Structure 1
Amino acid sequence: MAKVRNRIIYFIFILLVIILGLGSRYFSDFLPKWVHLYLGDILWALMIFFIFGFLFKRKNTFWIAMVSLLFSLSIEFSQLYQAQWINEIRHTTIGGLVLGYGFLWSDLLAYTVGIAIGILLEKHIIFYND
């Protein structure tokens, strides 16, 4: 019998990560600079991992991680495209949170760390095993 993710748990984790991510931006003046620079991107990728885990509850962890990483990298590389129409979307609150503003190599590492945390949480905390 195939193992299946519990969508309620994943929904709760998604909400917690969103709250932590927004909190890291809101309280950035009170946090160390590295937290302000990287934690939001790490949490964004972690949220993407949980969203894909929520949507594809029967896929294995490796598949979820690879799709999450490809999605995250695609969003980051899309920031190299600077047409007026997409920049107008980026300057909305939700557009900026989802699409970001400018390409940074360091974000690629942050996304990888966020997805790695998702793998560890899934394997050792949520107890979903392939």
Structure 2
Amino acid sequence: MSPTRSTTHGLVLLIGTVALGLGSRRYPAALPAFVSTYAGDVLWASMVFWLLTLVRPTGARGTLAAIAFTIAVAVEISQRYHVPWLDALRASRLGALVLGQGFLWSDIVCYAVGVTLAAVLDGILAGRRHRAVTGAWPPRDRRG
């Protein structure tokens, strides 16, 4: 049985992730070079995971993580495809933030890290919700 996630927590995590991601792109000089280089991609993939938890609040964590990673990789691979209308879309600020601008293998590593971090945080929150409701830790599978 998959946990039901709090929509409020999901929205807060989504908004917080977007804010951190935009901040990392807007103020890169305020961050160490390594962080400013990769934080946006890590947070972008985390954002995809949080979006999926809002769409499927009872979805299995592993399944949602796999879907989020697949979406992120698909968007990255799409950056190798160039047609005028798509390049024009990517040239806009919003298009660049959502679709990216150029394929990088390092982005795929960042996506794996971002999805993993989001899934781990989701698991921690699930444990806390379970403990708050039942007073028990760890959550136990109630199937037979």
**TM-score bucket (shorter structure):** over 0.9
- 1:126 CA drift (Å): 4.5
CA distance 1:2–1:36, change in 2 (3 Å) = closer
Q: Who is 1:24 aligned against?
A: 24
CA deviations on 1:67-117 (whole Å, 9 max, x unpaired) are: 000000000000000111101000111111000000000000000000000
The AA in structure 2 aligned to 1:48 is V
Provide structure 2 residue ranges, at least 5 long, that are not aligned to the other structure: 130-138
Of structures 1 and 2, the larger Rg is shown by: 2
Q: Percent identity?
A: 32
- 1:125 CA drift (Å): 3.2
Provide structure 1 residue ranges, at least 5 long, that are not aligned to the other structure: none
Q: Which runs of structure 2 are paired with 1:30-41 in the superposition (5 Å)?
A: 30-41=30-41
Superposed CA RMSD: 1.5
CA distance in 1, matches of 2:15, 2:25: 16
| TM-score, L = length of structure 2 | 0.85
Q: Which runs of structure 2 are paired with 1:36-47 in the superposition (5 Å)?
A: 36-47=36-47
Q: Who is 1:49 aligned against?
A: 49
Q: Would you say 1:86 and 2:86 are equivalent positions?
A: yes
CA distance in 2, matches of 1:83, 1:103: 15
The AA in structure 1 aligned to 2:115 is I
